[in-house]
Amino acid sequence: MTIDASLLVIAVLIYAAMIVVQVIFSNLEHSPKDQLGARDGLTDSSLLTSRAKRANQNMVEAMLLHAPLALVAISTGSANDLTALGGWLFVAGRTIYAPLYWFGVPVLRTLAWFLAVAGTAIILFQVLPFSGAA
């Protein structure tokens, strides 16, 4: 497996861990009876649960941009040292971003977000048909 594919798998594992954290926060806030139903009208009053949900939604948005680009690099043979760097930056940024978001750390959270975005941008510029890199 290429480093780019491995990093994409790691990004999926990070997201899975984020889901587990959200479940834990939600279980601490809501009773099992409330959680076993359809959760209609169930509102989160805990900052941790609300932040975990928003962090997860942000990860979905990030993965919707990152994953296809990584797959294009892998499937077209465009993967190189720069796409690997982009994957590492994405994984590092998203790993740091989640706990910073959960605990409300403002500036560092934004820097971690930019780190991940920079990783995705690096991959984008490697797979653009007119970039000369593809």
Nearest CA to 30 out of 15, 48, 16 is that of 48
Q: The domain 3-127 is classified under which CATH number: 3.40.640.10, 1.20.120.550, 1.10.4030.10, 3.20.20.70?
A: 1.20.120.550
Residue 89, amino acid: L
Residue 131 pLDDT? 64
What was the pLDDT predicted at 117? 98
Q: Are 115 and 100 in contact (CB under 8 A)?
A: no
Q: What was the pLDDT predicted at 134?
A: 54
Give 10-residue mean pLDDT values along the chain (134 residues). 96 98 90 75 84 97 98 95 98 98 97 98 92 61
User: What per-residue confidence (pLDDT) applies to 130?
Assistant: 72
Q: How far apart are CA 120 and CA 112, in angstroms?
A: 13
pLDDT at position 106, please? Answer: 95
What b/e readout covers 54-81, taking b as 16+ CB neighbours within 10 angstroms? ebbebbeebbebbeebbebbbeeebbee
Three-state DSSP class for residue 45: coil
**Residue positions counted in the chain:** 134
- Per-residue model confidence (pLDDT) at position 59: 98
Condensed to tens digits (0 to 9), the pLDDT of residues 12-36 reads: 999 999 999 999 998 888 877 777 7
Predicted local confidence at residue 32, as pLDDT:
77
**DSSP character for 104?**
T
Distance CA(66)–CA(90), nearest Å, equals: 8
Instruction: Note the pLDDT of residue 24.
Output: 92
